[in-house]
A and B are shown apart, each in its own frame.
Chain A
Amino acid sequence: MSLKKFKYIFAFRNISANKKSSFVIILTLSLVFCLLILLLGMNSTFKDIYEIQAVNEYEKTDIVINYDEYSEARLINKRNLEEDYEEYFDNVLSFFNLNLLTETDEEKYYTTLYSSFDYEFERLIDEDVEIRDNEVIITDYFSTEHNLEIGDSFTFYIFDKEFNYIIGDIFEEKGVFTNLSFYAKKESILYGLYETNALNNFGNTIYLDVSDDYSISDVIEILENDNEYSLYHIFPTVNWEYINSKAVDLSSIFLGIGLIVLLAIIMVLDSLFPIVNRNLRQNLGIVNTLGGDSKFIYHVNLIQWFMYIFISLVMGVVLSLIITNYGIYVYGFSGFIFISIIPILLSLLIVMLFVGLRSFIAFRKENLITIASQSKDKRFNIYKIRYPLIVGFTLILVLEWYFHFFSLGLHSLIIVICSVYITFNLASLLLVFLAKMVRKTKKNSMFKLFQVKYLIKNKHIHQSLRVLLISLISIVLIFSVRSYLNEEIDRFYDIIGFDLAITNINNYSDDLLEDISVYDITNSDEAILYNNITIYFNDEKYQPAKFFVSMDIDEYSNYFNMGISEFDDQYVSDTVPYVLLPKNFKLVYDLSLGDLVTLNLNYLLEDIEVVVAGYLDTNLDNFIYSNIYEIDQYQSLAKINTVFVKTDDILDSYNGLIQDYSDRMYYIINPDVYFDEMIEGVESVTNYFSVFTAFMILCFVIVIFNNTLLCFYDIKPDLIKIKVLGASKKDFLLTLFKEFILLIIIVIIIGLIEIYILSSQLKGVVLLIEYYKDISATIPAIIYGFIISGLVLIASYLYYWNQINKVQIIEEIKFY
């Protein structure tokens, strides 16, 4: 037999002989791979999720054309599109869609009308439509929300005309047809409005299905260059700019704690080595006495690792596919996300590098020992405190802390790394100190005589302590980020200070403010509001925002509850508008007052250069203020389109305003209702996060158990001797309990210190990936962290105890 073949057999035997350990190793490695793949692939996964979300909403539609408040034209002729651009489109669907006032059971509220020819609606949502002229189809959500059934009467108003219809069918929510939407035949609607059928080819929203031979962006460009359509809003259903920036946003949150998670994963990996290398010294000794090269066992060891890694990688990939796609399934989307090859290869590389390096070090260490000792030394691994390193790290920490040599991101990173190293060693020192205190006590006990020695010297106990700490810290951080995400919604609502907003105003005049004052209104002001703008900091860096507002600066704070900081009026001029940006932009984009940035507000207002004159006291990316309304140059294009309103009786004013202004196609926003949609995305992320958290915790559970088991293996020979001498189950329980208490005390003290440090530095670390959020550890997260790690530790000690009770004295005394 060749040496090579023998190595493979040897490696395979090592795996198959210890089925339990192999199982634990493969399980842990699979989880590690899964976590790494999820972590590294997060950005592209989020993109996929958003893409699927968009594709699900619009199904076959690739491009939407509609008008908005900026355009004069309000109807689009479908016939022209079909004829002029025949070869580009597989389908051209012309809809007349409106947000309008609906009345059922004497209740008035906004709904969305979809109207077209039946065949068009059938194509849009892929369902068969069968209703009469005076019937509507509503969504199932609509029917439960307002308690409506087929046959109920249904009234709605378009301009000041009243339409009395009957509910003819109820459809499941699908594609764009969701929430409070209903469908009616376009012929009957248009006839009701204009009493003619001449307009049947017109619509205000066109859904286009681009043929496979053309690229969507090319078609958009062609349409934008056509004079007939230049006034409309033409947009792709899958908006990559938006998807990219959102994905970056979300994955940044993960990557921020990713550093700690990565550290935790490395420690998890590290904890596998003592298991795999359990017989390493003995095997090396034997092979060496037989005249073999120590590389022999090294190779066997690596082959063994590769076998584990290969199996685990496959399982990890499958697992991460399941997790990712489960998330999508829960959201009711259809589609399948494949994980791209890069995160998989990267995870593999990280694990292989670590395993290679770690094994190499282990062998180097073993090779320094004489062969004679390899064959006879069976003592446990001794823990050594590395004082020079501790002193070195402390020095760096203290110097960096006081003198700030590096930029905030690096500063925080250095502090995190140093503090983790120091506190881990502090924990060990504390354990040694406490154990020595116990040794000094007068009363003799099994714990004092026997366990204390292990606490001071055994490497696995100290490793256990670290694993426990890193688990605790990771859990606290993960929960903190989770609650941060959840609170983001509250923070958003805290800022919104207006009770109602009248938007989509296309012919504003001052009279409006006076006209609306009849509705208990305490405050109202005119403003410009754009909902989808992009800020360009330079050619590569940009950021979309949802709440671009331009209005009298003194009134702004009435409607948006944020302070303004660092405002400098030297940047206020008549020619260049200024902006106030969320204060996190300052750090993320390295801005200073006076910097110029470029805004794209809408297709009429593009590439507008503005100067940064101050910051808004928020870390939410969505809010931007500008004084553009005051600048002459833009006044003809940047028109008042919104009135913000404060009122004593929201419901009353709301109903009144709807009544009076919906016929002008103004849209009345009640923030409580309106913004829920905007926030939907956050939820899917928190859910994804929950799965991630669960896996991380599972990983820690295994590792904590593993480490306890390793401690047990180390202590077993001694335990048996004590057992032979007559120690009872109760004696062992008491001894383990004391050890447990000692560990818990240390974890609480050191854990709190480290959580405090990390909590203050986390936001700085995230800055390294161009992201800034004020994330810090929350009390509930800390409590969860302690409860979970405490419970796992208790469970692992009970398991430990059980193992002691089960030990077969005879089995263990036998040598081989």
Chain B
Amino acid sequence: MEIIKTLDLEMSFINGTIKTDVLKGINININKGDFAGIVGPSGSGKTTLLYCLSSLEKITSGSVLFMGKDITKYSSKELSELRKHDLGFVFQFYNLIPNLTVYENILLPQVIAGEDGSYIDEILEMVGMKEYKTYYPNQLSGGMQQRVAIARALVNKPKIIFADEPTGNLDQKKGLEIMKILKRLNAENEITIVLVTHNEDYLDFCNKKIRLVDGHIVK
């Protein structure tokens, strides 16, 4: 079953009078349970594509369908609902809130979704960060922060997780650990994963490969 599908997705940035076409007619299909990998040279538009798929960026033309519904037509309230319950995000820079503890950072999406947060310990256990509950982000290593970010993305039990180079700042070994966590989530919890990466090796984890060059998909 298709979870995400795009139709002639185009996206350009307009800065003053300068227009940069970044995505030039993208048509992709991602099915439920897929582990999709997006690769391509730097500046080819991978991050932009991920943002467009996940409704964080407004597209210029075309459409993005989530479970068959065109989310580009959603109101901001509907989008919020969608992000609250169905989407999870992991970024290259871990994007934790520096003034909140590990526990509170993970509690945040729960509170936003109006849930009680009873599930947090289990999640922390899963990413191996249970002992660091009361730590602040700046007291953690990069890999640890990324695991917290994954925990945060997971806590609302999303249908799909978007991850933008989640291993970008980590060494080989730590990177692999993160990939294994993602793989396990994909396999055991049937969470769809869309991963942007530079590392061709990680494509081995993926069942679907999308290669971007200069805003086009190449086979």
Query: What residues of chain A have their CB less than 8 Å away from a CB belonging to chain B?
Result: 1-3, 6, 9-10, 13-14, 17-18, 279, 282-283, 285-293, 296, 370-372, 375-376, 814-816
Q: Do A291 and B85 have beta carbons less than 8 Å apart?
A: yes
Chain B, residue nearest A12 (CB): B99
Q: Do A370 and B95 have beta carbons less than 8 Å apart?
A: no
Which 7 A-B residue pairings sit nearest by Cβ, starting from the closest?
A291-B84, A291-B83, A17-B99, A292-B112, A372-B57, A372-B51, A290-B109
Closest Cβ–Cβ distance, residue B10 to chain A (whole Å): 16
Query: In the complex, what distance in Å separates the CA atom of A815 from the CA atom of B51?
Result: 21
Closest Cβ–Cβ distance, residue B49 to chain A (whole Å): 11
Q: Do B84 and A290 have beta carbons less than 8 Å apart?
A: yes
Q: Do B57 and A815 have beta carbons less than 8 Å apart?
A: no
Query: In the complex, what distance in Å separates the CA atom of A3 from the CA atom of B113?
Result: 9
Q: Do A375 and B56 have beta carbons less than 8 Å apart?
A: yes
Q: Which of B70-112 contact A (CB under 8 A)?
A: 79-85, 87, 89, 91, 93-101, 104, 107-109, 111-112
- The residues of B that contact A372 with a CB separation of less than 8 Å are 48, 51, 56-57
Give 7 CB contacts A-B under 8 Å. Answer: A3-B114, A17-B136, A288-B83, A289-B89, A291-B113, A814-B138, A816-B140
Q: Do B116 and A279 have beta carbons less than 8 Å apart?
A: no
Closest Cβ–Cβ distance, residue B72 to chain A (whole Å): 13
Known A372-B57, A815-B142, A816-B96: A290·B112 in contact at CB below 8 Å: yes
Closest Cβ–Cβ distance, residue B124 to chain A (whole Å): 16
- Residue from A10, A17, A289 within 8 A of B56 (CB atoms): A289
A-B contacts besides A287-B108, A288-B83, A816-B96, 5 pairs, CB < 8 Å: A288-B56, A289-B89, A290-B89, A291-B112, A291-B113
Interface: B117 (CB within 8 A): yes
- The residues of B that contact A9 with a CB separation of less than 8 Å are 104
Query: In the complex, what distance in Å separates the CA atom of A282 from the CA atom of B96?
Result: 9
Q: Do B99 and A291 have beta carbons less than 8 Å apart?
A: no
- The residues of A that contact B100 with a CB separation of less than 8 Å are 10, 13
Q: Do B99 and A13 have beta carbons less than 8 Å apart?
A: yes
Q: Do A371 and B57 have beta carbons less than 8 Å apart?
A: yes
Query: In the complex, what distance in Å separates the CA atom of A691 from the CA atom of B148?
Result: 53
Query: In the complex, what distance in Å separates the CA atom of A9 from the CA atom of B87?
Result: 25
Interface: B169 (CB within 8 A): yes
Interface: B137 (CB within 8 A): yes
Known A291-B82, A292-B80: A6·B56 in contact at CB below 8 Å: no
Q: Do B83 and A279 have beta carbons less than 8 Å apart?
A: no
- The residues of B that contact A3 with a CB separation of less than 8 Å are 111-112, 114
Chain A, residue nearest B136 (CB): A17
Query: In the complex, what distance in Å separates the CA atom of A283 from the CA atom of B99?
Result: 10
Q: Do B99 and A290 have beta carbons less than 8 Å apart?
A: no
Q: Which of B107-140 contact A (CB under 8 A)?
A: 107-109, 111-114, 116-117, 136-138, 140
Most-contacted residue by chain B among A1, A9, A290, A372 (CB, 10 A) = A290
Q: Do B109 and A291 have beta carbons less than 8 Å apart?
A: yes
Closest Cβ–Cβ distance, residue A253 to chain B (whole Å): 45
- The residues of A that contact B184 with a CB separation of less than 8 Å are none
- Residue from B56, B101, B116, B145 within 8 A of A816 (CB atoms): B145
Q: Do A279 and B98 have beta carbons less than 8 Å apart?
A: yes
Q: Do A282 and B95 have beta carbons less than 8 Å apart?
A: yes
Most-contacted residue by chain A among B79, B94, B112, B113 (CB, 10 A) = B112
Q: Do B57 and A292 have beta carbons less than 8 Å apart?
A: no
- The residues of B that contact A2 with a CB separation of less than 8 Å are 111
Query: In the complex, what distance in Å separates the CA atom of A6 from the CA atom of B113?
Result: 12
Query: In the complex, what distance in Å separates the CA atom of A1 from the CA atom of B94?
Result: 24
